[in-house]
Amino acid sequence: MSPVDTKTQILDVAQDLIQRLGVNGMSYQDISDRVGIRKASVHSHFPKKDDLLLALVERYSDRFLRIVDSIVASDDGPEVKLRRYCGLFEATLSSGNQDKTCLSTMLGAETLTLSASLVEDVWGFCEANEQRLATMLEQGRQEGSFHFSGEVQAMAALMFETLQGGMLLARVRGGATGFHQTIGQLLQLVKG
């Protein structure tokens, strides 16, 4: 296996573990066991756990925001865009054993154990999502699809925080079914 392939595989496994178990529930030994390499090989690609986490957040943010940007740029109406956006979170939770969350959700839950630069990157991901949500919400208001009270930016923050927190709680409350209902309520809220 080439170094690029190994590095990608390490990132893929680490991301899956963190999305299910959290940063503090995942170790380099877990990664090496699942990838089938020595722990020293994981360290050769990512000397410190922070190196691995920073690479993960960068990769995850880039991929996720590219998808969101394509939703925002689409010709779909505001409600369809918002449903598609919420569907990204629902699809993540629905995968596997309905125990997987957004990477930033799990990292956000463990900020007290993360480096300041990593917390900044996670916050940047959250802000970028809220900005894109605000764009969709503003479009919906302008087109007359959304009739919520309050500021657009505050509603965008409320929606993003509800999606993030809802993913964690859905793991306790029975999975994707309850989360789907939460999304339905959010959409009703913005439609007014």
pLDDT (mean) for 76-80: 96
Separation CA 61–CA 112 (nearest Å): 21
Over pLDDT 70: what percentage of the chain?
98
Q: Which domains does the chain have, with CATH numbers?
A: 53-191 (1.10.357.10)
Which pLDDT does position 163 carry in this prediction? Answer: 97
pLDDT (mean) for 101-118: 94
Give the pair of three-digit tokens for residue 27.
């170790």
Which pLDDT does position 172 carry in this prediction? Answer: 86
Encode pLDDT of 132-182 as tens digits: 999 999 999 999 999 999 999 999 999 999 999 999 999 888 778 889 999
Q: Is the Cβ–Cβ distance between 146 and 60 less than 8 Å?
A: no
Which pLDDT does position 2 carry in this prediction? Answer: 55
On average, the pLDDT of the chain sits at 94
Residue 56 has pLDDT above 90, yes or no: yes
Length of the chain: 192
Encode pLDDT of 124-138 as tens digits: 999 999 999 999 999
Categorize the per-residue pLDDT at 4 as very low, low, confident or very high, splitting at 50, 70 and 90. low
Which pLDDT does position 69 carry in this prediction? Answer: 98
Which pLDDT does position 123 carry in this prediction? Answer: 96
pTM comes to 0.92
Question: Which of 108, 60, 67, 116 has its CA nearest to residue 87?
Answer: 67
Residue 3 has pLDDT above 60, yes or no: no
Query: Which of the two residues, 14 and 94, has the higher pLDDT score?
Result: 14
pLDDT (mean) for 82-108: 92
Kindly tell me the sign of the dihedral angle through the C-alpha atoms of 42, 45, 18, 120.
Answer: positive
Which pLDDT does position 174 carry in this prediction? Answer: 73
